Structure 1
Amino acid sequence: MAKRILIVTGDGGESYETWYAIHRMIEEGHEPSLAAPSKRRLHLVIHDFEPGWDTYIERQPGYGATADLALADARPENFDAVLLIGGRAPEYLRHRDDLIALVRTMAATGKWVFAICHGIQVLVAADLVNKRTVTCYEHVKSEVTRAGGEWSPRQAVRDGRIITAQTWESHPDFYRAVMAALRES
């Protein structure tokens, strides 16, 4: 049965993570909806890992994507799951009360919550990592542990109805877990 998936990102979101999520959901017969602060074309970027660098780099602008839903208009009852994309967007999205309320409500009502890379920052802001085992980009793990979560070095981690992943390099493990979860409900 097709699931309605709310994919959340914004300007500075990771291009590959965004498009991979959209395509995988469509490929599996699900109905993705891309939400951002406003309905418009988003400026996504490509992040990469360079040998010898202490952190990731932004290579260049990535493929853009058009948000078909403004976050203020997103309603938890209209979706079966939420997927929080990484990149730079979660740095500012985590300060949006409407997004935090939406994610909290989805978690509280037993809906699936997925986050990859910096998407975990939204889960931290929503108080959803305390006493949970999660994973994320390694330079964000201190936010997880300070919020009472346990960081795992695994590529993808499931804790209840929350599934998290480290980076776009985690796509195989992450989407294997995500698709299995969506088949469960």
Structure 2
Amino acid sequence: MSKVLILAGDFSETLEVFYPYERLREEGYEPVIASLEKKRLQFVVHDFEPGYSTFTEKLGHGWDADIAVADVNPADYVALVVPGGRAPEYLRNNPDVQSIVQHFFNESAPVASTCHGPLILASSGVLQGRQSSAFPEVAPDVTAAGATYVNSEALVDGNLVTSRAWNDNGPWFGKFIAMLREKAPLNG
């Protein structure tokens, strides 16, 4: 079975991890969640409620990471998914995370990222000269990394598919699945 790596951590957005996870399983790929440590992760739910200037954050599901990023051999995976939430704020500073991201871009392998996930792409130095969507408040980070920010529910730029947030999951991941079928079809 072809494996797809999902970079997640404590306070990753629940819907941005589980929607890709289940869609990948449905397609016949094996999703593997990597984090700083192989441990039980705490995901969160972000929602927009009246009276607040930004989203609220509530505890979501817990889930076990399958592997620590230090133990990941990116060559074992056909694609990469980088969800959002608050986890990218600290994952982006990890050299193993950056090296993993750089591998997928060097190989032109499919990469999907949403919401705050492009923070990891920016810190990994892979956005220069590209177009990327992201949560709108992340736009300055995307442009500082040398990319053009595009407010899009499903933006394709070469091997990269980006979106704004969990409410774009259908269009975003639909384009990613199409790319995955083309660039990394299942054997047999």
User: What is the TM-score with the length of structure 2 in the denominator?
Assistant: 0.94
What's the secondary structure of 1:82's corresponding residue? strand
User: Counterpart of 1:142?
Assistant: 140
Letter in 2 for 1:66: D
User: Counterpart of 1:24?
Assistant: 23
Structure 2 CA distance for aligned equivalents of residues 152 and 8 of structure 1: 23
Question: Relative to structure 2, which stretch is displaced further, 125-134 or 90-99?
Answer: 125-134
Structure 1 CA distance for aligned equivalents of residues 116 and 40 of structure 2: 21
Between Structure 1 and Structure 2, how many residues are aligned?
A: 183
Q: Give the one of 127, 149, 152 matched to 2:150.
A: 152
Structure 2 CA distance for aligned equivalents of residues 182 and 160 of structure 1: 12
Q: CA RMSD in A?
A: 1.0
After superposition, where does 1:51-90 map in structure 2 within 5 Å?
51-58=50-57, 60-90=58-88
Structure 2 CA distance for aligned equivalents of residues 52 and 152 of structure 1: 27
Structure 1 CA distance for aligned equivalents of residues 22 and 3 of structure 2: 14
* In the alignment, structure 1 residue 161 sits paired with structure 2 residue 159: yes
After the TM superposition, which segments of 4 or more aligned residues of structure 1 sit over 6 Å from their partners? none
Letter in 2 for 1:3: S
User: Counterpart of 1:9?
Assistant: 8
Unaligned stretches of 5+ residues in structure 2: 184-188
Answer whether contact 2:112 2:173 (CA < 8 A) is retained. no
In the TM superposition, residue 129 of structure 1 has moved relative to its aligned partner by 1.3
Answer whether contact 1:133 1:149 (CA < 8 A) is retained. yes
User: Counterpart of 2:128?
Assistant: 130
Unaligned stretches of 5+ residues in structure 1: none
Structure 1 CA distance for aligned equivalents of residues 152 and 114 of structure 2: 12
In the TM superposition, residue 52 of structure 1 has moved relative to its aligned partner by 4.1
Answer whether contact 1:3 1:182 (CA < 8 A) is retained. no
Structure 2 CA distance for aligned equivalents of residues 171 and 183 of structure 1: 18
Structure 1 CA distance for aligned equivalents of residues 99 and 26 of structure 2: 29
Identity %: 36
Letter in 2 for 1:25: L
What's the secondary structure of 1:64's corresponding residue? strand
